[in-house]
């Protein structure tokens, strides 16, 4: 019989899988393929997905053009992959950072992060995992603090979770391995 923690972990894995493979989980007709170039989550080690990718039926239709990741204000926000900062500033009162990802085609993929107090500047090269700012307390559209993480190719919105490789999305349960050369207790 599975423990409560095991069932919770299984439910979290199922939620991430549903979010990445759900409606619109593929890149889309105009977006092209999305390579799994991400090397870190933008906040935390494996933050909760508060609201998933919900692509609109039409260009201006309702939907959710990104994912909302739960995190506390002041949390460091990291670039998920290497690239160049294409924008760092305020839009409609919110701090926004956009990063064009290296080696992702023409036009390149672009990630967006908001609300973020930027610590980078336009044109700056960033490495995967490099801190690009901190999560702001205000300006979020979530009920509680969250990071809205988006992905675009040109003007086409895509599911940002597709950037993350399977080992980062669903790391699986921890495994205990034997330690060699350590004597067994009596």
Domains and CATH numbers, the chain: 7-169 (2.70.70.10)
Distance between CA atoms of 44 and 40, rounded to whole angstroms?
9
pLDDT in tens, 161-180: 999 999 888 877 777 777 78
Angle (nearest 5°) at CA 49 between 111 and 157: 35
Q: Parallel, antiparallel, or unpaired: how do β-strands 109-114 and 116-118 relate?
A: unpaired
Q: Give me the phi and psi of 108, to 5 degrees please.
A: -70, 160
pLDDT in tens, 100-147: 999 999 999 999 999 999 999 999 999 999 999 999 997 667 878 899
Distance between CA atoms of 75 and 147, rounded to whole angstroms?
10
Residue written as token pair 């669903």: 170
């Amino acid at each position: 019989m599975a423990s409560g923690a095991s069932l919770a972990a299984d439910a979290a894995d199922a939620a991430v899988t549903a979010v990445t493979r759900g409606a619109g989980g593929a890149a889309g007709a105009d977006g092209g393929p999305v390579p799994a170039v991400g090397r870190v989550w933008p906040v935390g080690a494996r933050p909760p997905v508060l609201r998933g990718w919900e692509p609109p039926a039409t260009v201006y239709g309702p939907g959710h053009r990104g994912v909302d990741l739960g995190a506390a204000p002041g949390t460091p926000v990291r670039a998920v992959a290497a690239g160049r900062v294409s924008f760092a500033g305020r839009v409609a009162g919110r701090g926004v950072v956009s990063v064009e990802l290296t080696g992702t085609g023409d036009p390149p993929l672009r990630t967006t992060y908001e609300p973020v107090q930027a610590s980078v500047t336009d044109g700056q090269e960033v490495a995967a995992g490099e801190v690009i700012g901190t999560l702001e307390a205000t300006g979020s559209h979530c009920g509680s603090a969250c990071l809205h993480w988006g992905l675009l190719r040109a003007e086409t919105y895509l599911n940002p979770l597709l950037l993350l490789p399977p080992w980062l999305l669903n790391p699986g349960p921890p495994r205990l391995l034997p330690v060699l050369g350590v004597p067994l207790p009596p």
